Every structure is written in structure tokens, then in C-alpha cells.
Amino acid sequence: MAASDQQPISSGFHAKSTALEVIDGTDLGGKIAIVTGGYSGIGTETTRALVAAGASVVVPARRKEAAEAELADIAGQTIVMEMDLADLSSIRRFAEAFLSTNRQLDLLINNAGIMACPLTRVGPGWESQFGVNHLGHMELARLLAPALIRADGARVVALSSTAHAMSDILWDDPHFNHQEYNKWVAYGQAKTANSLFALGFDAKYRGEGVRAFAVHPGGIFTPLQRHLPEEEMVALGWKNADGTIPEAVQAMFKTPEQGASTTIWAATSPKLADRGGVYCEDCDIGKLADDNSQRWEHVRPWACDDDAALRLWEMSEKMLSEA
């Protein structure tokens, strides 16, 4: 799939549909899903919806006890296992443990992420947003590929963001070794990488029955904003000076239950059976951005380009193999 394939298909849902509305009537009995970050924000609602449809959900968590407490009300159908996306050895231990069970993996939801954080480094010196949001998830998906193939019809969903509009991949310096760090450019790059990862993974594995999709969940207030001080959110227009939410933002932003809906749609909709690799938003395939697109909508050409997806895949494989 490429930019020309970004054609909405009238899913029957809309921007404010909830995850439970989208999955209503879907039977996931006997299916196994992994949801990274599946115990916080929209991740919790993604887990809840999948369990409501009968799936068993494995939630990798850096803070296992916190995850178990958050998911206590649906604990019967969830399993929390330790994993830290910033630590390749942790990812590899998790994948090895899952593969050792010889179970199939029907859904891999790469939901976890960090946003606009101060410059920190993970692994062999990777910028953390690129390292956690993209490289950690790519390594997880690569290692779990045998279980996905075993499922016969598995899907991978990579959470991107409209923030991809802020930056293409910084091909010559993705880890900010030679340029001044900008937390929003770094986040934008990571979200472009998430979209290109889905395109690249789909191209690599669709012949073996696995399809992948990128998802922009929408604007949602969740713990993802933990690194943003109140004054910055006021400057961004997300909040008023008194801490209240402007009416325009309330109308545009989604609840966590609504924010999980496009993930669930991409993971389960039969309308996407032959449309892997596409970027989705508001429970539909997103449009290709043009001069009339607002900054918070549609997909930019650099985030749905086949050649860029292959280039990123090869660059990332090299980084992972050397780590």
C-alpha cells in the first residue's frame, strides 16, 4: 500500500464512536492479543474492548504491579508480563517466553509510547522517543512474527499520531547526535516511523497472512501528557489558564473510550481484509493530506511512502542488529 491507497471506505463508525461500539457483535473467542501499554489511557480501553469480545489479552508492562492493579476488574482474561520497551534484553525475554508456549498471536497492538520528553537515551545511545516508540516495538514485532504467522490472519496495529506531520524521518541524524534536540520534532519523527513501520511490516509479512495498520487515535487527555507542564498546554491551546478545557478542544478531543475505537476497528474490521499498510483515523482509512488539510488530520505523504518504509526498515534492522 502507498499514498494512493489512502482512500476512506465509509466504515459506518465516526470520530466519537467508542471501542465497545466498534467491537459490538465481534466474536474473538479463542483469540490471543498482546497490547503494549494496555493498562493506561487508551490502552486500558483497548484491553477492555478485546476482553469484552472474548479475547485473552497479554499486557507487557514495565510496572507489573501497577498494571495488575489497573486491570483488576478484568483480570480473569488478562495476563500481565514484565517488559520494558526501552530495554532490548527485556523485549527479547518477553518474546522468548511467549514463543515458548507455542501459542498463536492473533493481534499485536503496539500502543505504548512516550511523548515530548526531555532528551534521554536508551539502548546503545538511541534518542528515547525513537528508541521506545519505534525501535522497541519493531523488535517486539519481528521476534513475535512466528506466532503471528501461526495465527493465520493475524493483524498488527501500530499507534501513530497526527504529530507525524511535524517531522519526516531525520535520515542523517535520527538520534539527535549532531543537531539540537527538539522534543516535538523527535516525537513527530517517532510517529512517522510508527506509520512507516506498519507499511513495511505489511509488505514483509502479508504473503504469510499477517496484515499491519497504522492508527491515529485522536486527541485524548491521558498520561501521555505527563512531560508537558500546565503552561505549555495553555500555550498549545489545550487548556485555559485556569486549568479548564476550552470548548473547542472539548469538541475536538476524545475520551479514552473513543480514543481506542480506531485501534479496535483496525484490529477487527472485515472491511480492511485486503487493505493492509494503510494509515487509519476516526474509524476509517485516513485521507492523504493536501493543502486544505488541518494540522490535526490526514496523513502526510512521507508517512505512507513505500520506498521510505523500506529504507526505514533496513536502517532500523541495522540499528537493532548492532545493539
Question: Do the Cβ atoms of 313 and 207 come closer than 8 Å?
Answer: no
Identify the pLDDT of residue 225.
53
Identify the pLDDT of residue 237.
64
Least confident segment among 190-194, 248-252, 287-291? 248-252
Judge whether residue 251 has pLDDT over 60.
no
Q: Which whole-number Å values give the CA distances from 281 to 34, 39, 51, 163, in the listed order?
A: 21, 22, 23, 13
Average pLDDT over residues 298-309: 97
Give 58's strand partners.
34, 79
Reference 264, options 1, 48, 6; nearest CA is: 48
Burial of 199 (0-12, 13-18, 19+ CB in 10 A): buried
CATH topology of domain 3-219+257-322: Rossmann fold (3.40.50)
Judge whether residue 117 has pLDDT over 70.
yes
* Helices marked H in 75-214: 88-99, 128-129, 137-151, 183-205
Question: Do the Cβ atoms of 156 and 108 come closer than 8 Å?
Answer: yes
Give the global pTM: 0.92
- Residue 13 neighbours by CB distance under 10 Å: 18
Q: Around 216, how many Cα atoms within 13 Å sit in the side-chain half-sphere?
A: 29
Q: What is the layout of strands, in order, in the sheet containing 279-281? A: 78-82, 56-61, 32-35, 107-110, 155-159, 211-216, 279-281, 284-285
Judge whether residue 127 has pLDDT over 60.
yes
Question: Do the Cβ atoms of 36 and 109 come closer than 8 Å?
Answer: yes
Q: How big is the chain by its Cα radius of gyration, in Å?
A: 18
Determine which one of 39, 181, 187, 205 is catalytic. 187
The helix-helix angle for 306-322 and 183-205 (nearest 10°) equals: 100
Mean pLDDT estimate for the chain: 92
Identify the pLDDT of residue 233.
58
Average pLDDT over residues 64-70: 94
Average pLDDT over residues 287-306: 94
- List every span in the chain annotated with CATH 3.40.50.720: 3-219+257-322
Judge whether residue 224 has pLDDT over 70.
no
Judge whether residue 3 has pLDDT over 70.
no
Judge whether residue 150 has pLDDT over 90.
yes
Query: Residue 138: pLDDT band by 50, 70, 90 thresholds?
Result: very high
Judge whether residue 1 has pLDDT over 90.
no
Judge whether residue 37 has pLDDT over 90.
yes
Annotation marks residue 279 as catalytic: no
Place of cell 520497551: 85
Judge whether residue 195 has pLDDT over 90.
yes
Average pLDDT over residues 225-231: 60
Q: Which residues contact 286 (CB under 8 A, 6 or more apart)?
A: 6, 8, 216, 278, 279, 280, 297, 298, 299
Query: Residue 241: pLDDT band by 50, 70, 90 thresholds?
Result: confident
